[in-house]
Structure 1
Amino acid sequence: MEMALMDNLWVIVGTVLVFLMLGGFILLEAGSTRMKNAGHIAGKTIFTAGIGALVFWAVGYGLIYGSEGAFIGWGSFFYGDASFSGEGLAPAVDIMFQMVFALVALTIAFGGFAERAKLSAYVIFAVLFSALIYPVVAHWIWGGGWLAGHGKQDFAGSTVVHLTGAMAALAATIILKPRIGKFNKDGSSNDIAGHNQVYTALGVLLLWVGWFGFNGGSTFGVADAFFGFVSLNTMLGAAAGAVAAMSVAWAVNGKADVPSMLNGALAGLVAITAPAGFVEPWAAVVIGLVGGIIVVFSMKLFDKARIDDPIFALSVHGTVGVWGTLANGLFAVPAFSSEIDWGKPGLFYGGGLEQLGVQALGVFTSGLYAFVASFLILKVMDIVMGGLRVSEEEEIIGLDLSEHGGYGYPENIPNPNDQKGA
């Protein structure tokens, strides 16, 4: 009983850490965009978290864990179980932990909306993503669905959370089209710099801290202190990603630009999320290093493809989410995978290509579903709502004023009343 209570306490601590990541996303996204949209980005993160939490409580959790059907679960809607058997996790603790993961995926998805989407688009998509997109992928892998039956490994969500959110973001960027002034007629791009790199760096640090709950909390217990090992892998992956991205950017661009460094750390975190409980520390370093290298070139690739991704969600969470998931098929250790009865060893540990094939299948099908479902939903919304994007005039003056009636930095805007008192 006492150990079960400690397990529940640890998972609640992990829940709080993951929820704190939303604060990191606020600073990261606001700092990476222009001042005229800062208040909007901060506010939409809070109210969409509220929408996502309510929808997940009402239907999302039940669609993931309500039953073990191949495609979707069913049951436990409007969850209200206050019981505790004295063993394992209390139902309320479990739903809280799963809920904050869904909120992170939703926040990632909204990276593709940045600086050009109507407020109403956020509201409607938050409901539909939380009810129809995220629960399906989560059920397939974590809820006893068909990919779980194949042994798909995703310890804390490189696919379930990060790739799913990124594919929704990709659908949004395609439908919304680039921001005004991002690309020239000849195909070249213009750098639209974020307004506060200090905010961005602090956001990354908060996300890094929260990730110890994201990965470490996914052990669901403290009995064998395995959460410490998972946390070590998390730290090493992030550190390697930051160093790799800085080095590559310095070599390629001639400057160690700050966005590359910061996105390298996030790439390392995303990359190690799926393998955190399956690999040895040396492999965590390799996985993070490769993630940091990939993210630098991925950002350039999307830019050349004229895909406007202000928060770099597609590269950090999408491209690197794919790598992190596939890495299990290479580095998964037999003892770890068999201990938790989740898949097979990786290629480098005598497992052959079987687990790598399962990981690739999971990436392809989950990413395809998340993209197609998001694209169809957003396209219908675009038609019904007469457009998801604000007008050109509203985009130029900024979403703080056009969508909320006031600026996030009001002291920087001239006030006519100040002149009257002069």
Structure 2
Amino acid sequence: MRELNTDPVENSTVSDAINNILNSGLTGIQGAYSSAVPSTNQGINSVWILASAGFIFLMQAGFALIEGGAVSKKNRNSMLIKNLYNVAITGVAFWLAGYGLAFGGADYFVGQDRKTFASYGFEQVEFDHYVHWVIQFAYATVVVSSFQGALAERTQLFSYLVISAILAGFVYPIILAWTWGNGWLADKGFHDFAGSGIVHLVGGTAAFWGAWIVGERRALARQREGQFHRHEVDVKSREVQAELDDLHVDFSKIAKKHFKGNESEMQRNNNTFIVIGTLLVWASYIFFTGGRTLTQFTARSASSGKIIQNMFISSSFSALLSVLLKRLGFDPCESRSTKFDALTLCNGALIGMVSISGVADSCENWAAVLIGGISAFWYVGLALILDFYRIDDPLEAVPVHLGGGVWGLFAAGFFNNFHGVLFEHSLKQGQFMAYQIVGIAVIFAFVSAVVAPAFIILSKTDALRADKAIEEIGFDVAELGQPGVSEDFIEAVRERIEAKEAQERKRQEFTDDEHNKVAHKPKPY
């Protein structure tokens, strides 16, 4: 077995020592299990795990389409590309540190075995970490993608990358160490089969803090106030064209596509993307839940088939009930409440998948019906609460992932066939539910303790919120380097916005002064 030489150098030159280290690193660190061949059963399980990982990873295509279709047209391409960036940064962070923190030994709180960091010693242990890494990485990409929809249309790319790296390289792995890594929560009996809390609650909590700290979109603020034209940036006007003549750029096409100055700037641009994306995620979720068995050799009562069936039952009931509830008027956007909204159907299905994940392996079909049905109320209720407090969540990621994650862990405490409080009222069942609640609390608290300060620091350093001119122009034009969009153009638009806002403030001050004069005018006797 050839190992990296880290012993003190004795009776040799420095150059010999350096060459020894370089040669060891370049040829790879061989281990006792480098030539190990899996048995037939191990091979079958490995195929199942790797196939599941591939389909879980395919969820990224679904999320990209949903997000690209749900935002306004001027931001569609940038949302698609941000998903690629997030996957790439997740791969780097999870390989370097994340997997080792999660599965690097049997430590009670965090993994520390250096063999699991950057796959340093995967071949020195009997367990096949290569296969396990692949599926755990696939789950990590879902965590990262679940928060970005809440920050859509007003957040800088740099912030996405920073938060993605923190989640994939530190926050999510620590939660994994406590749970699927056989840490202290798992030791207490905490049950989260396929990631209601471990995956979705982590991403949903990050989405909540991000949406709150970054603030609402400028277009949404205008929509709330009924001001669709007041701050319009008309780049086709003579005044603005005069300011931009020296740039020698024809902005007519850009203006036609991106500066409508009315309610259409808040409209979703492509329902086809949303529908196809939802179907991709739904199909991939077969393996998100079924693949968590990590084997095909299980009892029928806990088989992949039954787990997947529970997922479909829950998500189907949730999707239909969510649409029904919003048609009955429980919708923060009144203009959608009488329509069959594509995003509502999408998110209704998604929260049904999220909610059943925690207990899909140990509940009956009738319980899946209840879990999915109740999840629709969580979705609609949280959407109304966020709207009331003016927390802008364009993709409704917080209700789906945070709400679905919380309810999924509660549902495990109620409907688990072996420990659920609905089946037996004993101290053991009470303790099981108690640790489900503890799991919810510690996951939310730990993610908040790390992610919220990160968002605040990014905000204070002007690295979180996009410039107002970029937000008005659209990220497709401003960020993706389209021809003719220079810094001078962005600066000119910024100055135009500020002039309009100053003019509006003066008008408002004049109106307020006139109102005060009338209010304080002495009444004639």
The TM-score with structure 1 as length reference comes to 0.89
- 1:129-162 Cα offsets, whole Å, 9 max, x none, are 2222111112112112221121111001010110
The letter of the residue matching 1:216 is G
Q: Distance in 1 between matches of 2:196 and 2:271?
A: 26
Query: Partner residue of 1:353?
Result: 430
What letter matches 2:63 in structure 1? Answer: F
Counterpart selection for 2:119 from 64, 79, 85: 79
Matches of 2:323 and 2:457 in 1, distance apart? Answer: 41
- In structure 2, relative to structure 1, the CA distance for the partners of 1:288 and 1:132 (3 Å cut) is same
Determine the C-alpha separation between the residues in 1 that align with 2:323 and 2:156: 35
Give me the whole-angstrom Cα distance separating, in 1, the residues matched to 2:69 and 2:120: 38
- Equivalent-residue separation in structure 2 for 1:55 and 1:254 (angstroms): 44
204-213 or 398-407: bigger deviation? 398-407
Paired residue type of 1:112: A
8 Å Cα contact 1:239/1:268 also seen in 2: yes
Indicate which of 294, 305, 321 corresponds to 1:244. Answer: 321
- Residue 379 of structure 1: which of 437, 440, 456 is its match? 456
Label 1:22 to 1:316 Cα distance change in 2 as closer, same or farther (>3 A): same
Q: Is the 8 A contact 2:274 2:342 kept in 1?
A: no
Aligned to 2:98: 60
What is the TM-score when the length of structure 2 is the normalising length?
A: 0.72
1:27-176 superposed matches below 5 A: 27-75=65-113, 76-80=116-120, 83=123, 90-176=128-214
Q: 1:260 aligns to what?
A: 344
Distance 1:310 1:372 in 2: 24
- How far is the alpha carbon of 1:248 from its aligned partner? 1.5
Q: How far apart, CA to CA, are the structure 2 residues paired with 1:145 and 1:195?
A: 45
Q: Name which one, 1 or 2, has greater alpha-carbon Rg.
A: 2
Moved more, 363-372 or 76-85: 76-85
State the 4+ residue runs in structure 1 displaced beyond 6 angstroms. Answer: 185-191
Q: Which runs of 5+ in 2 are unaligned?
A: 1-38, 228-262, 330-336, 484-525
Partner residue of 1:17 out of 55, 72, 77: 55
Q: Could you tell me which amino acid in structure 2 is paired with residue 126 of structure 1?
A: S
Alpha carbons of 1:275 and 1:45: their partners in 2 closer, same or farther (altered >3 Å)? same
Question: Which amino acid letter does the alignment assign opposite residue 365 of structure 1?
Answer: V
Distance 1:129 1:188 in 2: 38
Residues 286-323 of structure 1: per-residue CA shift (max 9 Å, x gap): 10111122212221211111000011110001112100
Matched residue SS, 1:117: coil
Q: Which amino acid aligns with 1:238?
A: S
Change (3 A) 1:116 1:184: closer
Give the number of equivalent residue pairs. Answer: 394
SS in 2 for 1:279: coil
2:294 to 220, 228, 234: 220
Alpha-carbon distance between aligned partners in 2 of 1:187 and 1:395, rounded to the nearest angstrom: 18
**Offset at 1:204?**
1.0
Further displaced range: 126-135 or 100-109: 126-135
Residues 248-278 of structure 1 deviation map (CA, whole Å, 9 limit, x = unaligned): 2222334443322221111110111111112
**How far did residue 187 of structure 1 move?**
7.8
1:290 aligns with 2:374: yes
Separation in structure 1 between the aligned mates of residue 156 and residue 192 of structure 2, nearest angstrom? 34
Give the letter aligned to residue 207 of structure 1. V
Residue 320 of structure 1: aligned partner: 404
Structure 1 residue 330, shift from structure 2 partner? 0.4
1:394 aligns with 2:470: yes
Choose 123-132 or 171-180, whichever is displaced more: 123-132
| Closer, same or farther: CA 185–67 of 1 in aligned 2, 3 Å | same
Please tell me whether the aligned partners of residues 62 and 280 of structure 2 are also in contact (alpha carbons under 8 angstroms).
yes
2:281 alignment counterpart:
207
Tell me, in whole angstroms, the C-alpha distance in 2 between the residues paired with 1:84 and 1:22. 33
Give, in angstroms, the shift of residue 193 of structure 1: 2.7
Q: Aligned residue for 1:403? A: 479
CA contact (8 A) 2:104 2:112 kept: yes
2:393: which partner in 1?
309
Provide the residue aligned with 2:17 in structure 1.
none
**Contact 1:32/1:196 (8 A) holds in 2:** yes
Q: Which range moved further: 359-368 or 77-86?
A: 77-86
Partners of 2:322 and 2:208 lie apart in 1 by 23
The Cα shift of 1:90 comes to: 2.6
CA contact (8 A) 1:118 1:403 kept: no
Contact 2:106 2:182 in 1 (8 A): yes
CA-atom RMSD, angstroms? Answer: 2.1
- Secondary structure of the equivalent of 1:348? coil
Within 1, Cα distance between the matches of 2:53 and 2:173? 18
- Give, in whole Å, the separation in 2 of the partners of 1:202 and 1:304: 31
**Contact 1:238/1:288 (<8 A) preserved:** yes
**1:234 corresponding residue in structure 2:** 311
Tell whether the 8 Å contact from 1:250 to 1:257 is kept in structure 2 after alignment: no
Residue 413 of structure 1 is matched in structure 2 by none
CA shift at 1:31, angstroms? 0.8
Give yes or no for contact 2:159–2:463 (8 Å, CA) kept in 1: no
Query: Could you give the per-residue CA deviations for residues 388-409 of structure 1, whole angstroms, max 9, x where no partner exists?
Result: 11110000111112111139xx
Of 306-315 and 250-259, more deviation after overlay is shown by 250-259
Contact 1:65-1:139 within 8 A present in 2 as well = yes
Q: Percent identity?
A: 29
Match of 2:242 in 1: none
- 1:370 aligned partner, one-letter code: V
Q: Which has the higher contact order (CA 8 A, sep 6+)?
A: 1
Output the amino acid matched with 1:311: L
Output the CA distance in 2 between the equivalents of 1:186 and 1:199.
Answer: 27
- Shift of the 257–83 alpha-carbon distance from structure 1 to 2, 3 Å rule, reads same
- Cα distance in 1 between the residues matched to 2:85 and 2:434: 39
Question: Aligned partners of 2:408, 2:94: CA distance in 1, in Å?
Answer: 26
